[in-house]
Amino acid sequence: MSAAATGTGIRVGAAPVSWGVSELQALPAGITPELVLDQMVAAGYAGSELGPPGFLGDAGATRARLEQRDLQLVGAFLPLRFSRKEHADEDRANLAGALDLLDEAMPGPVRPKAILADASVEPDRLSLTGRIAAHPEAWLPKPRFRVLVDGLHRAAEMCQRRGYDAVLHPHAGSYVETDAEVRAVADELDPALVGLCLDTGHVALGGTDSATLARDYRHLVRHVHLKDLDRTVLADVTGEGGGLAALIRRGVFTELGDGHVGMRQVVETLLELGYHGWIVVEQDRVLTGAETPAELLAAQERNRRFLARLGL
């Protein structure tokens, strides 16, 4: 069901991570750009995010692959080490390169969101993902909090100068994971420079209610990643001392409607607030290698039907 048919103004896209394609693991066997993009189209999605740099090819190949399937490029996930001054120059150079690729890769007039995230690279944060609130020794020191906010704004300025709308993506394993961290950073954001990407699964993992966050920061929400979260898996893995990698391997992010985020309430809240941007279905996952192409497609068809039943 299209946004035009429902009158919501919302368009629904997908992301390669739902096929196990991410920066956190090697490319799964048999998962090619053609398979992923063809299945997005078959499942009824109107756009795709970029995925890890290089997955869709260079700029020319990315544009051609998307144009051939009438898919829009709707976002690029761009993690930077915002709280680490010593990496600022290197990370901003990498950001400039990513924006160069986007300039050449867009298949149409839709400009993708520059989805900025604090990089999930700190060992203590990765090992304590889902338990950060109870471990103050892993909290970001106050001086580095200001560095993070300033670094985020400088990166957003770069994006804006290049014509890209920047949004902050709270992310598990980063310094913007817990409810307190997400709100502390969101309260400091200059909305003229950067908005918020509401990732329902990641904020739920950090203890935030997505619908409440959307209401509280309605002036900032400019992009949405819709994913569900299984709190039973979260409790089991964190109880065993597992971190982010173990959570994803065990399937903490589920198909829409199979978890505990409250997808219906989130969608109803977004519609009530008049949100009219892209919603990108994501299911961060690690494939076992036993999944068939038919099974991968069926999972994304179920996700798309779930949203269609909610009017999207």
Per residue in 274-305, pLDDT (tens digit) is: 999 999 999 999 998 899 999 999 999 999 99
Euclidean distance between CA atoms 125 and 137, whole angstroms: 10
26 exposure class (CB count in 10 Å sphere: 0-12, 13-18, 19+): exposed
The answer on pLDDT for 7 being more than 70 is no
Helix (H, G, I), strand (E, B) or coil at 220: coil
Mean pLDDT of the chain: 95
Helix (H, G, I), strand (E, B) or coil at 202: helix
> How many other C-beta atoms are found inside a 10 Å radius of the C-beta of residue 80?
22
* Angle, vertex CA 13, rays to CA 288 and CA 115, nearest 5: 90
Helix (H) or strand (E) holding 281: strand 278-281
Strand partners, 79: 117
Average pLDDT of the segment spanning 19-37: 91
> How many other C-beta atoms are found inside a 10 Å radius of the C-beta of residue 157?
14
The answer on pLDDT for 3 being more than 50 is no
**Considering only CA atoms, which of 160, 261, 243 is closest in space to residue 201?**
261
pLDDT at position 4 is 40
- Cα–Cα separations (whole angstroms), residue 159 to 56, 100, 165, 286: 21, 11, 7, 31
Is the Cβ–Cβ distance between 175 and 168 less than 8 Å?
A: no
Average pLDDT of the segment spanning 15-36: 92
pTM: 0.95
Is the Cβ–Cβ distance between 282 and 17 less than 8 Å?
A: yes
Length of the chain: 312
In the chain the domains, ranked by start, together with CATH numbers, are 10-309 (3.20.20.150)
Is the Cβ–Cβ distance between 218 and 273 less than 8 Å?
A: yes
Average pLDDT of the segment spanning 64-88: 97
Structure tokens at 304: 């798309």
The answer on pLDDT for 5 being more than 60 is no
- Residues ≥6 apart with Cβ < 8 Å to 75: 13, 15, 49, 50, 112, 113, 114, 115, 197, 223, 278, 280
Tell me the pLDDT band of 226, cut-offs 50, 70 and 90: very high
Tell me the pLDDT band of 9, cut-offs 50, 70 and 90: confident
pLDDT at position 25 is 78
pLDDT at position 208 is 97
Tell me the pLDDT band of 2, cut-offs 50, 70 and 90: very low
Tell me the pLDDT band of 256, cut-offs 50, 70 and 90: very high
The model's pLDDT over 114-151, given as tens digits with 9 standing for 90+, comes to 999 999 999 999 999 999 999 999 999 999 999 999 99
